[in-house]
Amino acid sequence: MTPRGRIGLGLGLAVFVFAADQASKQWILHGLDLPDRGRVPVLAPVLDLTMVWNHGVTFGLLQAHGGLGQVVLAGVAIAVVAGLLVWLRRAESTLVAASIGAIAGGALGNVADRARYGMVVDFIHVHWGATELFPFVFNVGDSAIVLGVGALLLESVLAPRARLPAEPPRA
């Protein structure tokens, strides 16, 4: 894929993830009315839709209650997305471009929530009965961020790297 094609892929995936994240949150809030219902079993005993207002970052880490904390988290996320866009211009593989797009789209979805609600809408809850296999409630954007980071890590381990010469060339 050409560099322009990789940029297009990354930007397209960012837009897709952002749109899917925001559409799912609108359905959760206004279609399903999860804030009033609290919890809806989907696939017993492993998956529920559970309403959580997240004041932190992905999976509720780094909680920032209050206006200033939310502004700081949103600012950091926007700075990260800007850095990702610079990286996207230099992406040398399709996997890296797609991963950057997924991460950027997920991060922007959460920034949009902070701007709209002052916190992030989370609703996907994975568990096994009463046992918390994964003690976090998350959203579509969080999922894209984690999958994108995981793909980048996998690519960094598996991608062939150019080998440096054993000795520098002699002048």
The catalytic position among 21, 48, 113, 122 is 122
The catalytic position among 21, 48, 113, 142 is 142
d(CA 152, CA 18) in angstroms, rounded, equals 19
Q: Which helix (H) or strand (E) holds 122?
A: strand 120-126
d(CA 152, CA 149) in angstroms, rounded, equals 5
* 39 Rama class: left (phi>0) / alpha (psi -120 to 50) / beta: beta
33 is catalytic: no
**Cα dist from 127 to 7, 43, 145, whole Å:** 37, 10, 20
Name beta bridge partners: 40.
49
21 is catalytic: no
Kindly list the catalytic residues.
122, 142
